[in-house]
Structure 1
Amino acid sequence: MEIYVRLNADVEHDYAFQVSNEDTINNKIRKIFPSKTGLADLMVLRPSIFHEKEPSKFYKSIHPGYLSEGGCLMFHYDADNEENLGELNDSKPLIDQLWPGQLVVPEWRLSKKNIWVYVTIMLAWLYTDLPDAVSPTPGICLTNQLSKLLIPVAKRMDLPDIAAKLEQEIQANYSSLVAQWLFFVMHIFKIAVITLFLKLGIANPISFNPYKLWTLRDMTSPSAKNNNGKSAGSNSATDLKTILRSLGWIGAKRATYDDYQTNYYNYVIDKMGGAVAAYRAGAIRKAAAPGIQLEAGEGFQSPLENRFTASTFTVIKTEGKFILSEEYFVELENNLKKILEEYDGDIGQMNAEIRRFRRFGIYEPDEKLATLVKLRREISDEKENASKKDAISGIKKNDSKKSK
């Protein structure tokens, strides 16, 4: 069974993992995150440097999700909101807790150690840039320290004017009082920007240790050579493959709804032979806003205990709801097999189709899945039209009251 795990607490980093019948949070998912035995030394997993390297808990997203035009499920942007999460049992098999393709959301705790180290470094840096007029130790800013290193270099290179200028600039109160405070305010702003980038995870390095980053080359580059001219990275690369295989790593990411919408739109336009042809065929509207947002009790909120007894295709007709069932997943698998058979054994195209399936789902479903989507869309349209009628009726009543 394949599931998705959200890394970095980022909607764009929902990675697919293969789990077996015996796999649990403890013996599978939790092993993704340690430094030596997991992936923490190879890719950024935590949301920011202000978080612990390993999650404290794991939840499953129970947001119903979106039903795509091909009858597949996409994650909603609110999938990791607190009200849409259900805690997972660490020792219970995942197959008994999750639907295939469901999202696992790690909970990340803030690292007090990292926060205090960062605050200490920033305050020390801020102190060195205090205006000379108020600083107990004027002239110790990093710029001055750099200038002191450059002065002997300038003298050795026979550049007396530059050396004299640098010696003048490192004197306390060289700049005016206004300039000193202006530079200090700019320094505060600079630290605020750096903090914002780190907090949002825009800057989120694996490590600040250059040596550690250099040694990672051996893990990711089999072509790296050792002193004997042999491939130093080959064993490490083999170890990396072993680690990835043991973790069930597939290397595919689930698309966000916006990515799906853009990709599906382009697919429809290309299939129709251009935007004009697509418009004439009446396909533009659906391509521009594909999929259906599911409601409570549908999608990933389907009762897992009914997986092998419920019928997706019966319930959509009798109750007007899209629920998950083993019957539905078998149909998805059969659809994918039919699509792959069309490539006549072309491995490249088959792999590309499988990658697209894991990222975007199916684009050309068979009649059974297409009918399922059509019925669910009709139900959604009926509710939308009823809502519009109620709104119009309410407006008319208000206008009538005002006229009286």
Structure 2
Amino acid sequence: MTEKQEYAQDVYIRMNLDEDKDYCFEVKKTQTFKDLFQIFETLPLALCPSIFYNRVPKGFMVSRCPGELTAEGGLLFGRDADKPKWLTRVSNDDLIVSKVWPGQLLLPIWEEKTFLTYSIYAALLTWLYTDLPDFISPTPGIALTTWVCKAVCYLVEKFYDAGFAEYLRGELLFESGKVLQCVFFFFNVLKVLIIFGSLKFGVVNPYSLTSKPPAITKEDLIRIGWTGSRKVSVEVFKGDYRNHCIEKAGGVMAAYKDGILTKLSDTTLALEEGEGFNTPLDTKGKLTLKDLEEQDKFFLTLDFIIAQEKFFHEQHADLDETEFAKAFKKFRNYGPFETSPQIKRIVEKRFEKAKPSQQ
């Protein structure tokens, strides 16, 4: 059996706590959740939320948010995917395929670097304290800026020119008024807040402060199940699906005449508890497509997922390997933009059920 054939299903992992970074990975039947740690150890990227967290998570939570059903039967994660009510902690020793549906979202559990966090807090607060206006500070004259200026003047005096050093002292170390000191302190507070915010929210998020990112090979990417795909948001799907349908119809006017524009007003639907990715796992493999046609709710089933992929392969059978890979990557990003008549009936029935409650 080849490496490719060993893969059982896709899962998505949210990186940097960013809903725009839900990356897709292929996992094998025998893989446990702790095997996913190799992703964070291998990729030369800072995938944690900020510098305040360890680079490798300590575990995972499964998002059981039902998600949003698309007009063609795809499932997006929706806006509430990371809300605590939908998150379930799993053991690192659990088999992945036993705890998730194909295509489900995992959220890493990040452990804070306590020592680094408090060290940075202490450094920034100390910096602010030293910059307190002299008329307020219990220890006036200890501003870091003042000490830097004194050091510069000393070096100029020793290695360049004593007269010029005296001139600098007069320009840089003059006694400023209270108002000017307060203005200077305000800008220092602003500077510290910008630095803290950049670190806290991951704007500045280096891979490491002490080491370079590891080199990575194609074999490494295959080993960790990297696909290069990431699930799009509901808003992105709506815009791109609308453009696809209009282009397929032959333009806006043609789409309007065919009544397509009216249908494009509702292209996603927020599912309810017990549906979508919230479908109980013990039903996996039990419900068929025919069963789904008779249901008022949209339950996730293996038959449904297999039928979607089969239809996709049939529709793209004539593509060469490169073009097929591009098309399949888009399929992973968005879900299907076209689907079979049977799946279309199932989806349309669920959309019809939702109409009265949306009015």
TM-score higher than 0.5: yes
Q: Once the two structures are superposed, what CA deviation does each residue of 1:20-67 show, in whole Å capped at 9, x if it has no partner?
A: 1110012x213323xxx433xx11211122223332331111111111
- Report the residue type matching 1:14 in the other structure: D
Is 2:319 the partner of 1:309? Answer: no
**255, 269, 276: which one pairs with 2:246?**
269
Letter in 1 for 2:62: K
Query: 1:147, 1:166 within 8 Å by CA — same for their partners in 2?
Result: no
Name the structure 1 match of 2:119.
117
Deviation per residue, 1:307-342 (Å, 9 max, x gap): 11212x33333231111112111101111102221x
| Aligned amino acid, residue 204 of structure 1 | N
Q: 1:333 to 1:175 in 2, by over 3 A?
A: same
Corresponding position: 1:258 with 2:235: yes
Q: Which residue of 2 aligns with 1:22?
A: 30
Give how far 1:143 is off. 6.6
**Which whole-Å CA distance do the structure 2 matches of 1:164 and 1:282 have between them?**
82
- Alignment RMSD: 2.7
- Does residue 31 (structure 1) correspond to residue 33 (structure 2)? The answer is no
Shift of 1:164: 5.7
Report the Cα offset of residue 148 of structure 1: 4.5
Q: Tell me the residue number matched to 1:64.
A: 66
Residue 239 of structure 2 aligns to which amino acid in structure 1?
Answer: T
- Structure 2: how far apart are the matches of 1:198 and 1:64? 33
- 2:71, 2:14 → 1: CA distance? 24
Aligned to 1:22, the other structure's residue is in SS state: coil
Aligned counterpart, 1:197 = 198
For 2:296, the aligned partner's letter is G
Amino acid paired to 2:31: D
For residue 301 of structure 1, report the CA deviation from its aligned partner: 1.5
Q: How many Å apart are 1:237 and its aligned residue? A: 4.0
- Distance in structure 2 (CA, Å) of the matches to 1:21 and 1:146: 64
Contact conserved, 1:59 with 1:105, CA < 8 A, in 2?
Answer: yes
The answer to whether the Cα contact below 8 Å between 2:153 and 2:169 also exists between their aligned partners in 1 is no
Cα distance in 2 for partners of 1:329, 1:117 equals 49
SS class of match (2:28): coil
Secondary structure, aligned partner of 2:117: helix
Match of 1:279 in 2: 256
Aligned with 1:17: secondary structure?
Answer: strand
Q: Distance in 2 between matches of 1:251 and 1:339?
A: 22
- In the TM superposition, what is the alpha-carbon distance from 1:106 to its structure 2 partner? 1.5
Q: In the alignment, which of 147, 168, 171 is matched to residue 170 of structure 2?
A: 168
Residues 3-402 of structure 1 aligned to structure 2 (within 5 Å): 3-26=11-34, 28-33=35-40, 37-39=41-43, 42-135=44-137, 136=139, 138=141, 140-142=143-145, 145=148, 148-149=151-152, 165-171=167-173, 173-209=174-210, 212=211, 215-216=212-213, 219=214, 236-238=215-217, 241-311=218-288, 313-341=289-317, 344-384=318-358, 388=359
Superimposed CA distance per residue, residues 361-386 of structure 1 (whole angstroms, 9 cap, x where no aligned partner): 110112122222211111111443xx
Residue of structure 1 equivalent to 2:6: none
The 2-side partners of 1:330 and 1:44 are apart by 34
Shift in alpha-carbon separation, 1:176–1:298, aligned structure 2, 3 A: same
Is there any run of 5+ residues in structure 1 with no aligned partner, and where? Answer: 220-235, 389-404
Aligned residue for 1:393?
Answer: none
Q: Mean Cα displacement is larger for which, 60-69 or 184-193? A: 184-193
SS in 2 for 1:184: helix
Look up the SS of the partner of 1:50 in the other structure. Answer: coil
Q: CA deviation at 1:18?
A: 0.9
Shift of 1:348: 3.3
Distance in 2 between the 1:29 and 1:293 partners? 29
Give the distance between the partners of 1:150 and 1:242, measured in 2 at CA.
57
Moved more, 95-104 or 319-328: 319-328
Determine the C-alpha separation between the residues in 2 that align with 1:294 and 1:207: 41
Distance 1:152 1:121 in 2: 26
Q: Which amino acid in structure 1 is aligned with residue 171 of structure 2?
A: E
Amino acid in structure 1 at the alignment position of 2:350: R
TM-score by length of 1: 0.78
Q: CA 1:350–1:157 in 2, change beyond 3 Å: closer, same or farther?
A: farther
TM-score, normalised relative to structure 2? 0.88
Deviations 1:204-227 (A, max 9, x none): 222345xx3xx44xx5xxxxxxxx
Query: Once the 2 structures are TM-superposed, how far is the Cα of residue 144 of structure 1 from its aligned partner?
Result: 5.6
CA contact (8 A) 1:316 1:375 kept: no
CA distance in 2, matches of 1:297, 1:24: 25
Report the secondary structure of 1:19's partner residue.
Answer: strand
Conserved in 1, the CA contact under 8 Å of 2:24 and 2:229? yes
Q: Residues 51 and 199 of structure 2 are in contact (CA less than 8 Å); yes or no, is this contact kept in structure 1?
A: yes
Quick one: structure 1 residues 101 and 134, their matched pair in 2 at CA, closer, same or farther if it must change by over 3 Å?
same
**Structure-2 change in CA distance of 1:147 and 1:331 (3 Å):** farther
